Amino acid sequence: MDTALMLLARRAGHRIVTDLTACADAAAALAAAHRDTPCAARTLGQQALPTTFGLVAATWCTGLDRARTGLDRVLDALPVSYGGAAGTLAAVHPHGPAVADALAARLGLAPQGVPWHTERSRVGELAGALGVAAGACAKPAGDVVLLSATELGEVSESAPGDSSSMPHKRNPAAAVTARGAAKRAPGLVATLLAGAEQEFQRAAGAWHAEWETLVALLRVTAGAAARLRVSLEGLQVHPGAMGRNLALAAGAQGSGTGHATDLVDTVLAGRPG
């Protein structure tokens, strides 16, 4: 069961990594295109100081890149699970470790070291990496939802969702669904971490609680990354609206976005891969 779960996680996880990479690339393209586009930075829901939309997108890119590299690293370390009924490898003594390593190589999984029936740190690391990835998707998705509001109108999706009863609406459907998927991740991560305490050599209940939970976490994280990709790859930026909104508090904000532009260049120059 553990080996099958690791194979499933690796296969699904690499698809998530692909979408995270595409999301980060889309954010990087937005950052490069709008490195000099002034807009309002907002803190505590209020206009603060001027920034550039390029820096906003560069921040998205940074989080997505970190989540992608972290998840990729965890996926590469997912191990085979081979230990027999009680984790002693007794049935294949004295060749147990060699058989386990050969099985890992055959399946393309990492060697296990010693059997890990009730040592669940690998599952915890995977859960954490998936939770971080979901959170990295939730950040730009939430910003897109807010910046698409009628009163701001600073961005819009290329294929917005219509309303069945209000034809004037252009809902940021991809960002909304990415955000909805990502919000399910923390509870699933918590369940997997709570199951790390597993008694003796085979747990009663805690092990079984992982199965559907990990599958669900893979599913919602994959959904968040895939939907965010749709949102960012088609995101339309409206500099006119950004300038209009920025002018609302121009006297109190001061001016100058040179440092923001420099930060965009730093982020883009330092991207992994």
pLDDT band of 252, cuts 50, 70, 90: low
Does the bond joining 94 to the residue before it have cis omega, within 30 degrees of 0? yes
Which tops the pLDDT comparison, 258 or 171? 171
Q: What is the pLDDT of residues 211-228, one digit of tens each?
A: 999 999 999 999 999 999
Average pLDDT, the chain: 93
Active site residue 244: no
Inter-CA distances, 30 with 7, 139, 159, Å: 35, 15, 17
Active site residue 68: no
Q: What is the pLDDT of residues 8-58, one digit of tens each?
A: 999 999 999 999 999 999 999 999 999 999 999 999 999 999 999 999 999
Catalytic residue among 35, 163, 219, 271: 163
Residue 198 sits at φ, ψ, to 5 deg, of: -125, 130
Reduce the DSSP state of residue 182 to 3 states and report it.
Answer: helix
Per-residue pLDDT for 163 more than 90?
no
Per-residue pLDDT for 77 more than 90?
yes
Phi-psi label, residue 89: left if phi above 0, alpha if psi -120 to 50, beta otherwise = left
Q: Residue 251 is which amino acid?
A: G
Catalytic residue among 202, 229, 231, 255: 202
List of domains in the chain: 2-79+116-269 (1.20.200.10)
